[in-house]
Structure 1
Amino acid sequence: MEIENLTGGYGDTNVIFGLSARVHAGQVLGVFGRNGVGKTTLARLIQGSLSPASGGIVFRGKDIAALKAYQRRAIGIGYMPQTNMVFNDLTVLENLCIGNPSRPFEPYFDRFPRLAERLDQAAGTMSGGERKILAFVRTMLEDTDMIILDEPSEGVQPENIGLMAQCLRERVEAGAGAFLCEQNLSFLTEVADHYLGIDQGKAIIDRSAADISPQEVRSALSL
């Protein structure tokens, strides 16, 4: 996926300004920045729930900027939003099955056994961290080639964040690309192959993981 001079936001109010980035298959792009700098807006522009004011979004060589969110999902772009990430009235199992999973549940149940124990429980009765894990696993199960994750570790216990990192790396090593918006530095540094730091809707860092230190990432997060 290539993002080319992307500008957009909400109605007449732009939040992202002329931003460009690239995510290869087998790569995690770690997008970071303070709260309110535009990470979620960027994720939604790529996913399709927001329409860009200008610029291109190219997936597999085709400009998809005019496609709706459901059309982007149909061509292999998955999405885990930061909020409202599960259907509260549906059970855990029903939530997992929504995306037509193409992968077996068992490896994820081995890592997150609470899901297996609560298959018949309404997702809305789970804790915030448990709902995050449920949404994350559902996204990992889907047959998608590009995965957009918006703050997946927020509210999740540290030991489970490490397991999420393992799952994400496995999906990427199997050929997916991932666009990860995240403020958790340990999660970022464990999985990211390339970093895109943004502030006020513009890129301030665009560097490979080999060319940037965790201290530099931490400094950018505190700007």
Structure 2
Amino acid sequence: MAIALSVTGLRVRYGPIEALHGVDLDFPSGAVTALVGRNGSGRSTLLNTLAGLVRPSAGRVVWNGTDITAWPADRRAREGLTLIPERGGVFAGLAVADNLRLFADGADVEPALTAFPILAERMSQRAGTLSGGEQQMLAVSRALLTPARLLLLDELSQGLAPRIAARLYEVVTTLATADRTVILVEQHTGEALERAEVVYALSRGTVTFRGDPTEYRTHPDTAHRS
């Protein structure tokens, strides 16, 4: 399986605290990879480092053969790396319609409305007044309306009803194509394991498991499980 993104010897520090301890990971092209672990394990730090929001103290990030370690976040975004953060992927003060227009940048917004019909009923409503599930649907719409080549999703299903989480994952899974790679960060692993092809578990800034979902479910070390 071809590798879209790889990190080698990645270390991240917040002052005197090291959050990632020399992490080595490969993310396959056109697949869904799940990053799982408890709060404080380093999952979100890793995702923010991949997005360029956090600068590593050591190590390399290579995307499609190009070293992007020194690239700022805006350059990564322009090249097709899209981060959808936990509870913060929408413009809360703008109407749903305005959010979609900004995401689409002149393109048709219909793919988002087809995937999430409820948004068509909320077009004039401010995004900040939507339910948690509807806000996540709107946030995921960004990936449907932009030419993202690498999609990073942080806690997609956190606090959502199972049926809403399942629908979000159903849509996200379709985004993993030959030219688009998806990385999911989750604490609660149910849907993530159903959809992922590769699973990595982190604990206290180190990788404690790497393999496929079946191997993860039967792994004897339960310290990293939610």
Q: Calculate the TM-score normalised by the size of structure 1.
A: 0.90
Do the aligned residues in 2 keep the contact of 1:27 with 1:178 (CA within 8 Å)?
yes
| Matched residue type, 2:139 | A
Does the C-alpha gap of structure 1 residues 11 and 196 become closer, same or farther in structure 2, counting only changes over 3 Å?
same
Is 1:75 the counterpart of 2:79 in the alignment?
yes
Do the aligned residues in 2 keep the contact of 1:102 with 1:141 (CA within 8 Å)?
no
Counterpart of 1:166 (choices 164, 167, 170) is: 170
C-alpha deviation, 1:132, in angstroms: 1.7
Q: Distance in 1 between matches of 2:132 and 2:221?
A: 26
Equivalent in the alignment of 1:182: 186
Equivalent in the alignment of 1:97: 101
Does the C-alpha gap of structure 1 residues 100 and 112 become closer, same or farther in structure 2, counting only changes over 3 Å?
closer
C-alpha deviation, 1:110, in angstroms: 3.6
**SS of the residue 1:85 aligns to:** coil
**RMSD (Å), alpha carbons:** 2.2
Counterpart of 2:8 (choices 4, 8, 16) is: 4
Q: Distance in 2 between matches of 1:145 and 1:169?
A: 14
Q: Distance in 1 between matches of 2:154 and 2:222?
A: 21
C-alpha deviation, 1:108, in angstroms: 3.7
Quote the sequence identity (%): 29
Does the C-alpha gap of structure 1 residues 64 and 213 become closer, same or farther in structure 2, counting only changes over 3 Å?
closer
Unaligned runs of 5+ in 2: none
C-alpha deviation, 1:175, in angstroms: 3.0
Equivalent in the alignment of 1:139: 143
C-alpha deviation, 1:86, in angstroms: 1.4
Does the C-alpha gap of structure 1 residues 202 and 168 become closer, same or farther in structure 2, counting only changes over 3 Å?
same
C-alpha deviation, 1:96, in angstroms: 2.1
Equivalent in the alignment of 1:126: 130
Q: Distance in 2 between matches of 1:165 and 1:66?
A: 32
Structure 1 stretch 95-104 or stretch 12-21: which is displaced more? 95-104
Do the aligned residues in 2 keep the contact of 1:25 with 1:176 (CA within 8 Å)?
yes
Structure 1 stretches (4+) deviating beyond 3 angstroms?
99-108, 215-218, 220-223
| Matched residue type, 2:148 | T
C-alpha deviation, 1:57, in angstroms: 0.4
Equivalent in the alignment of 2:57: 53
Q: Distance in 1 between matches of 2:109 and 2:166?
A: 19
Do the aligned residues in 1 keep the contact of 2:104 with 2:142 (CA within 8 Å)?
no
Q: Distance in 2 between matches of 1:12 and 1:29?
A: 30
| Matched residue type, 2:205 | G
Equivalent in the alignment of 1:219: 222
| Matched residue type, 1:216 | H
Q: Calculate the TM-score normalised by the size of structure 2.
A: 0.89
Counterpart of 2:209 (choices 189, 205, 223) is: 205
Is 1:21 the counterpart of 2:25 in the alignment?
yes
C-alpha deviation, 1:217, in angstroms: 9.1
Does the C-alpha gap of structure 1 residues 140 and 102 become closer, same or farther in structure 2, counting only changes over 3 Å?
farther
Q: Distance in 1 between matches of 2:220 and 2:167?
A: 22
C-alpha deviation, 1:49, in angstroms: 0.6
| Matched residue type, 2:181 | G
Q: Distance in 1 between matches of 2:14 and 2:216?
A: 34
**SS of the residue 2:202 aligns to:** strand
Unaligned runs of 5+ in 1: none
